[in-house]
Structure 1
């Protein structure tokens, strides 16, 4: 099965072509841009397909990171994945960014339980626990720092991600979380096909209307 994987949930804009039969990435492109995913994504996809030597029509499945992460970025990636799924008549699956963080850590630390934690800003942390066999222990959640600390204190395993410094001694991570596109592709190939991917936000957007420009309700 040939999988086209997309990531726009964080600071990267990335695409990869993955062959599940050989377990290998045939071609990938990642650019760390922070913002501007909508303007760059299609060119990134074209470059990844060209590197792989694979035509878009040969893709069997789309995989996309669905969050939590950048609100705008997630919308861009999910919309592209659903568009390709519809136009090509192939399934699309979503992969959570917390799952990607845990899987990346597990490659170097097999068998270790993982608490993936992302700095959600505004005094909150996105987090999810996984056991040593990759199974999720509960759903992804957003928690205030004090509640997240209590969860971490009761967790026997490795705590990773940009939110980890809230939960244990350490320095803040200076750059946003990154979600390796090869891992997204592999997890997407293994994922069960179900409903179409949709954004995983866990909370409302950070945008606040300016009171001085609010329209009075009648």
Structure 2
């Protein structure tokens, strides 16, 4: 099976190709702006490096959020365009799932996982998983200072983990028993998107193109329609 994964939901842009259990080509760049200029070239480079065409792929995967409004739209638009042109199924993966999947199994061994994603406002987005990365609760928006320390060994990951740690330090809770913070930067990676799609299959593609997943309205104002 061959899956092309794409991500531009947060502070990075990445593309990766998963083939028969391994990532065979990948591009990753940390960036807050400019994803629209490099997403398609990244796709072309990854496909060329892997030596495949779209006719050789089984499907596509893309992050659907939560994340930055513009980045999400860029990734989804590119993925939908490729799916439409190629006829390939397209599956969406949440930012929480992609970040959680990227944590090495040995780092989360015996621990629940909380993924914290930046909103670039006062709040952050969080979702919890058990130690097998099964969903443990619904995603939600909270203020960092309102985070309740779990009563079980827990690993906190994601690009908002730093802000969450600062809030815990202000309350003297950063060293609470069983609480740890993941070592990585906490950004989603297209490699994990592709691997998750390969694991789950394409059944959800029958429901139509994936839509952006927001936990609150996007932080933009669209232009008003011109009077006729």
What is aligned with 2:177?
none
- The answer (yes or no) to whether the contact 1:18–1:26 under 8 Å persists in 2 is yes
CA distance in 1, matches of 2:87, 2:159: 37
Structure 1 residue 31: Cα displacement: 2.0
CA distance in 1, matches of 2:47, 2:53: 6
Q: Quick one: which of 210, 213, 217 aligns to 1:200?
A: 213
Structure 1 residue 142: Cα displacement: 1.6
- The answer (yes or no) to whether the contact 1:8–1:74 under 8 Å persists in 2 is yes
| TM-score, normalization by structure 1 | 0.83
Aligned pairs for 1:33-48 (under 5 A) are 33-48=31-46
Q: Quick one: which of 130, 137, 158 aligns to 1:161?
A: 158
What is aligned with 1:173?
none
- In the superposition, relative to structure 1, how do residues 208 and 77 fare at CA in structure 2: closer, same or farther (>3 Å)? closer
Does residue 114 of structure 1 match 2:123?
no
- The answer (yes or no) to whether the contact 2:66–2:94 under 8 Å persists in 1 is yes
| TM-score, normalization by structure 2 | 0.80
Structure 1 residue 153: Cα displacement: 4.2
Where 2:102 maps in the other structure, the secondary structure is helix
What is aligned with 1:141?
140
- The answer (yes or no) to whether the contact 2:158–2:187 under 8 Å persists in 1 is no
| Count, aligned residues | 203
Where structure 2 has 5 or more consecutive residues not aligned to the other structure, the ranges are: 175-184
Structure 1 residue 180: Cα displacement: 2.2
Where 2:47 maps in the other structure, the secondary structure is helix
Where structure 1 has 5 or more consecutive residues not aligned to the other structure, the ranges are: 171-175
- The answer (yes or no) to whether the contact 2:157–2:186 under 8 Å persists in 1 is no
Structure 1 residue 154: Cα displacement: 4.8
What is aligned with 1:87?
85
Structure 1 stretches (4+) deviating beyond 6 angstroms?
Answer: none
What is aligned with 2:180?
none
